[in-house]
């Protein structure tokens, strides 16, 4: 059997991917905190924000005293205010106007970044300022930029919170997936240094920069994993990446191969894998704090490297981007990378069931009846509802290790689009106080999340067949029924389910994410775990 599996195994194109280094992105932005004046900074570009002020219904950009704009304008002989007036700049968020300094200070350019109105400031305002600054820096081929960080809170946002968001934006704004382009078509990363001029607490700012760079680096890593095609990012590849993350972060990593998965009775994972020439893999990475762990959290990430739907085949429109069906796995693994670096006082176990969902003579079929690891019998009514199957076995395995909280992340149901649209992560689960904490974290992290009800009445739709459960319910609310199915395997463990079917991937360029893998909701998850 093993022999047969190997002879059917395709030649995986790993050589196509030269960027196998998970730490690659974290080293791209150097941030320094300096005191003194912005004018004296030895950088290529000075960043100034202009806020949007509405007077009689007309928007006008206004230079700020707090970030050195007024002072800089004076030093440049009123040039900045002249541009603002002449061009009727509005200060709208996302806008940028370059002004040349003509040797009046060390920097070649000043950029006026529109910051929007004060009232509308959120952490995402600073992420967007970072993204815009990074784009402008690229445009003028600047290697370095500087900005002044005001010491007061802005709309209740402390300087450190703003600093973290800014660096995240600076790095996310430079993300691109160009691994497969020839060298001369790849844009070099030139803009690698940012200086924050501040009179405030230097340590707090530096810590915020470090954290922001780590988080953004992990997001870029998760995006890379998601964007890699499934002939490169196979279950085996994910396992190797997990081992690399573990090695660098001094984490424990256990990889179960196909035989060990059988020995662990993960029959649902095996069934989904039946149609694939690539064997399944189960990944378990764990982080243990130095002292006594305050809590034990389990993270479970769906790692379906490609979802054709199986015999309930998807149409080409729906299949096209299904390499992103391992988005949960990518975010969970990248989160472990951040946790390994920041060393919180909680123990975290990450579990990733990984396989493809393919069509093959051996593939599983509708009406097949399988026994889950938990012992429950499941009748397959749709081979495209494979995520819940692989997760059910992974959750059962995780639950056996008695975590105090279990969070699963999965591109589980296309229905999220109808419930919440393109950018939201749907939140469901039983651990309501933890869900509240997570939603609070999502506000700081600037990632859209909304809770849906775990309506038990819809459970009836799973029953009535020849087995204990069908793999699909009857309600039209597929995001809710998908969660309900998973809920059958969590036993008494407090549980949060994040359906990232929409948020993990973006069909178009958005302010903070380019088309492709988004890395959501990594920022929220890190913010949440660090707050425990």
Give the residues lining the site for Mn ion (CB under 5 A): 307, 384, 386
* Smallest distance from ligand BES to CB 393, Å: 15
CA distances from 201 to 34, 62, 121, 320 (A): 11, 27, 22, 49
Residues pairing with 46 in the sheet: 110, 146
* Smallest distance from Mn ion to CB 425, Å: 18
How are beta strands 252-256 and 281-287 bridged, if at all?
Answer: antiparallel
How are beta strands 469-470 and 516-517 bridged, if at all?
Answer: unpaired
Q: Specify the residue for token string 């799973």.
A: 462
When the beta carbons of 229 and 289 are compared against ligand BES, the nearer one is: 229
- The one segment of 132-140, 208-216, 383-391, 449-457 that binds ligand BES by CB under 6 A: 383-391
Binding mask 305-324 for Zn ion (x = CB under 5 A): --x-----------------
Per-residue HEC secondary structure of 260-296 comes to HHHHCCCHHHHHHHCCCCCCCEEEEEEECCCCCCCCE
Candidate residues 114, 200, 309, 387; the one interacting with Zn ion per rule CB under 5 A: 387
- Burial-class residue 27 by CB neighbours within 10 Å (0-12, 13-18, 19+): exposed
Q: Does 272 bind ligand BES (CB under 6 A)?
A: no
* Smallest distance from ligand BES to CB 290, Å: 38
- The one segment of 8-16, 174-182, 371-379, 385-393 that binds ligand BES by CB under 6 A: 385-393
Contact 165, 212 (CB under 8 A): yes
Q: Does 475 bind ligand BES (CB under 6 A)?
A: no
* Smallest distance from Mn ion to CB 79, Å: 58
> Which partner in Mn ion, Zn ion, ligand BES, none is near 501 (CB below 5 to 8 A by kind)?
ligand BES
Q: Catalytic: which of 127, 128, 211, 388? A: 388
When the beta carbons of 121 and 412 are compared against ligand BES, the nearer one is: 412
> From CA 329, how far away is CA 504, in angstroms rounded?
11
> From CA 448, how far away is CA 433, in angstroms rounded?
19
Candidate residues 193, 382, 443, 468; the one interacting with ligand BES per rule CB under 6 A: 382
**Which residues contact residue 291 at a Cβ distance below 8 angstroms, ignoring those fewer than 6 apart?**
345
**3 state DSSP class of 196:** strand
CA distances from 208 to 126, 158, 512, 522 (A): 13, 11, 19, 17
How many residues bind Zn ion (CB under 5 A)? The answer is: 4
- Per the annotation, the verdict on 74 as an active-site residue is no
* Smallest distance from ligand BES to CB 262, Å: 23
When the beta carbons of 319 and 530 are compared against ligand BES, the nearer one is: 319
Could you write out the DSSP letters of every residue in 484-499? HHHHTT-TTS-EEEEE
User: Which residue has its beta carbon closest to ligand BES?
Assistant: 414
When the beta carbons of 208 and 426 are compared against ligand BES, the nearer one is: 426
When the beta carbons of 162 and 323 are compared against ligand BES, the nearer one is: 323
Q: Catalytic: which of 314, 376, 491, 515? A: 314
Contact 171, 216 (CB under 8 A): yes
Candidate residues 472, 483, 496, 512; the one interacting with ligand BES per rule CB under 6 A: 472
When the beta carbons of 42 and 315 are compared against ligand BES, the nearer one is: 315
* Smallest distance from Zn ion to CB 387, Å: 4
Q: Does 356 bind ligand BES (CB under 6 A)?
A: no
* Smallest distance from Mn ion to CB 311, Å: 11
> Which partner in Mn ion, ligand BES, Zn ion, none is near 262 (CB below 5 to 8 A by kind)?
none
Binding mask 291-320 for ligand BES (x = CB under 6 A): ----------------x-------------
> From CA 339, how far away is CA 347, in angstroms rounded?
10
- Per the annotation, the verdict on 314 as an active-site residue is yes
**Which DSSP category does 154 fall into?**
B
Q: Which of 531, 530, 516, 511 is nearest to 448 (CA)?
A: 511
Q: How far apart are the first and last CA of the chain?
A: 47
When the beta carbons of 340 and 426 are compared against ligand BES, the nearer one is: 426
Q: Which two tokens stand for residue 408?
A: 């699963």
CA atoms within 13 A on the CB side of 261: 28
Per-residue HEC secondary structure of 32-55 comes to EEECCCCCCCCCCEEEEEEEEEEE
> From CA 54, how far away is CA 390, in angstroms rounded?
53
Candidate residues 116, 169, 387, 487; the one interacting with ligand BES per rule CB under 6 A: 387
Q: Does 501 bind ligand BES (CB under 6 A)?
A: yes
Q: Does 325 bind Zn ion (CB under 5 A)?
A: yes
* Smallest distance from ligand BES to CB 496, Å: 19
* Smallest distance from ligand BES to CB 502, Å: 7
> From CA 30, how far away is CA 195, in angstroms rounded?
8
* Smallest distance from Mn ion to CB 475, Å: 18
Q: Which of the residues 397 through 436 are near ligand BES (CB under 6 A)?
A: 411-415
- CB contact burial 231-253 (16+ within 10 A = b; e otherwise): bbbbbbbbbebbbbbbeebebeb
When the beta carbons of 173 and 301 are compared against ligand BES, the nearer one is: 301
Residues within the interface to ligand BES (CB under 6 A): 307, 325, 382, 384-387, 411-415, 472, 478, 501
Q: Mind telling me the catalytic residues?
A: 314, 388
In the complex, the residues that contact Zn ion under the rule CB under 5 A are 304, 307, 325, 387
């Amino acid at each position: 059997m093993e022999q047969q599996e190997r002879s059917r195994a395709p030649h995986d194109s790993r050589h196509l991917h030269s960027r196998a280094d998970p730490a690659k992105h974290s080293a791209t932005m150097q941030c320094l905190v300096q005191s003194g004046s912005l004018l004296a900074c030895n950088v290529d570009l000075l960043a100034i924000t202009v806020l949007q002020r509405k007077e009689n219904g007309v928007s006008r950009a206004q230079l700020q005293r707090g970030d050195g704009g007024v002072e800089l304008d004076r030093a440049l002989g009123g040039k900045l205010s002249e541009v603002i007036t002449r061009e009727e700049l509005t200060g709208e968020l996302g806008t940028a106007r370059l002004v040349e300094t003509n040797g009046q200070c060390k920097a070649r350019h000043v950029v006026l970044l529109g910051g929007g109105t004060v009232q509308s400031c959120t952490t995402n305002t600073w992420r967007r300022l970072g993204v815009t600054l990074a784009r402008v820096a690229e445009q003028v081929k600047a290697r370095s930029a500087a900005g002044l960080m005001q010491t007061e809170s802005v709309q209740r946002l402390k300087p450190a919170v703003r600093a973290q968001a800014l660096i995240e934006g600076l790095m996310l704004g430079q993300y691109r997936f160009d691994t497969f382009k020839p060298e001369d078509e790849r844009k070099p990363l030139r803009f690698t240094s940012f200086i924050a001029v501040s009179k405030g607490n230097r340590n707090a700012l530096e810590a915020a920069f470090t954290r922001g760079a780590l988080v953004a680096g992990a997001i870029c890593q998760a995006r890379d994993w998601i964007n890699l095609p499934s002939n490169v990012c196979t279950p085996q590849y994910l396992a190797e990446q997990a081992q690399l993350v573990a090695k660098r972060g001094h984490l424990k990593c256990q990889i179960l191969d196909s035989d060990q998965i059988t020995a662990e009775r993960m029959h649902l994972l095996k069934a989904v894998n039946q149609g694939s020439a690539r064997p399944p893999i189960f990944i378990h990475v764990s982080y243990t704090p130095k002292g006594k762990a305050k809590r034990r959290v389990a993270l479970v990430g769906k790692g379906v490297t490609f979802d054709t739907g199986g015999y309930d085949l998807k149409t080409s429109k729906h299949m096209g981007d299904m390499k992103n069906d391992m988005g949960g796995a990518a975010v969970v693994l990248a989160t472990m990378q951040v946790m390994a670096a920041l060393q919180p006082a909680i123990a975290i176990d990450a579990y990733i069931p990984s396989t493809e969902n393919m069509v093959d003579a051996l593939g599983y079929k509708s009406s097949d009846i399988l026994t889950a690891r938990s012992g429950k019998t499941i009748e397959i009514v749709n081979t495209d509802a494979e995520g819940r199957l692989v997760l059910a076995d992974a959750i059962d395995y995780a639950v056996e290790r008695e975590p105090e909280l279990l969070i699963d992340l999965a591109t589980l149901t296309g229905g999220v689009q109808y419930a919440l649209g393109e950018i939201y992560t749907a939140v469901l689960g039983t651990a309501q106080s933890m869900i509240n904490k997570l939603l609070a974290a999502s506000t700081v992290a600037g990632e859209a999340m909304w809770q849906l009800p775990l309506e038990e009445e819809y459970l009836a739709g799973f029953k009535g067949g020849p087995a204990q459960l069908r793999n699909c319910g009857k309600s039209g609310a597929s995001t809710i029924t998908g969660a309900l199915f998973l809920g059958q395997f969590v036993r008494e463990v407090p549980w949060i389910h994040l359906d990232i079917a929409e948020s993990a991937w973006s069909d178009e360029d958005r302010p903070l994410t380019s088309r492709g893998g988004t890395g959501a909701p990594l920022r929220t998850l890190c913010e949440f775990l660090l707050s425990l």
